[in-house]
Structure 1
Amino acid sequence: MSTLGIDHLGLTTANLPATRDFFRDVLGWRETGSDPGYPMIVMTDGHARLTLWARRGNGAFDRHANAGLHHLCLAMQSEEALGAAYARAQAMAGVEPEFAPEPNKNGPAIHTMLREPGGCRIELRYTPPKDTA
């Protein structure tokens, strides 16, 4: 293979400050860079890196009609961390939950899907480690 994984993922958002606040306040990510003239903000959780871009214009992304990112799925450390992040997301203005944490299909993974204030669909998912005993 010639690739080493994803260096970063770029998300275009309708509300750059609100999307930054979602990643920072709901998920605990930190800002590592920005360019107000572009405008863009770089965020990380220490493992993954996202570049958040301000959308120009007002055309909405339709996940059924447009090519592009359907959603971003983030792995959570535990079921408790997933529940706590969901509670913080519900308390944040502009977040639109699609469904509360529930088993993904027949489990054992638990997940939730929501739209952050800038309009991007985010899945939060916890998959318990496989029992190796």
Structure 2
Amino acid sequence: MTKAMTKGTHHIGLTVSKLEESAAFFTSLLGWKEVKRNNEYPAIFVSDGSIMVTLWKNQEQPPAAFDKNSNIGLHHVAFAVESESDLSRVYDKLVKNDVKIEFSPELIGEGPAKHMICYEPSGIRVEFTWPGC
């Protein structure tokens, strides 16, 4: 077996239509930290301490909506949570803040792993996954 030439994910870059609102989704709702801003680009960098997400403001107005069934590109981004109760807490907080939910926490296959999907303010599908162990 050959050794992989890469090691994990350094960051994820997302183009968003609502830069401030998308950044607030991560910082205000999920407790991430804003790492830095580049107002000239414009971009906001956020991190949960394990991964960084770079949010870039799109320049096209209005932005084209992504269709997961017909477009090539990001289908969704998934973040791990440490426990089943953390998954429930994320879900409850998103619901209380009127975040659009695609589906509430449910088993992945036969379980015990669970996941849920919502949409951040710019319409990107965000999954939260508890591995079940």
Q: TM-score, normalised by structure 2?
A: 0.90
Separation of aligned partners in 1, 2:19 and 2:12: 15
Alpha-carbon RMSD:
1.2
Partner of 2:10: 7
Q: 2:47 is matched with which residue: 44, 48, 51?
A: 44
Q: Would the aligned equivalents of 2:111 and 2:132 in 1 still touch at CA under 8 Å?
A: no
Partner of 1:118: 122
Q: Would the aligned equivalents of 2:116 and 2:129 in 1 still touch at CA under 8 Å?
A: yes
Separation of aligned partners in 1, 2:25 and 2:123: 11
Separation of aligned partners in 1, 2:111 and 2:122: 30
Separation of aligned partners in 1, 2:111 and 2:36: 38
Gaps of 5+ in 1: none
Question: How far has the Cα of 1:64 moved from its partner?
Answer: 1.5
Tell me which amino acid in the other structure corresponds to 1:110.
K
Gaps of 5+ in 2: none
> What secondary structure does 2:127 align onto?
strand
Separation of aligned partners in 2, 1:75 and 1:90: 19
Separation of aligned partners in 2, 1:87 and 1:128: 19
Q: 2:71 is matched with which residue: 62, 66, 75?
A: 66
Partner of 1:32: 35
Q: Would the aligned equivalents of 1:42 and 1:50 in 2 still touch at CA under 8 Å?
A: yes
Separation of aligned partners in 1, 2:115 and 2:132: 11
- The number of residue pairs the alignment matches comes to 128
Cα offsets for 1:75-100 (capped at 9, x unmatched)? 0011111111111111224x210111
Q: Would the aligned equivalents of 1:9 and 1:51 in 2 still touch at CA under 8 Å?
A: yes
Q: TM-score, normalised by structure 1?
A: 0.90
Q: 2:91 is matched with which residue: 83, 86, 91?
A: 86
Tell me which amino acid in the other structure corresponds to 1:79.
E
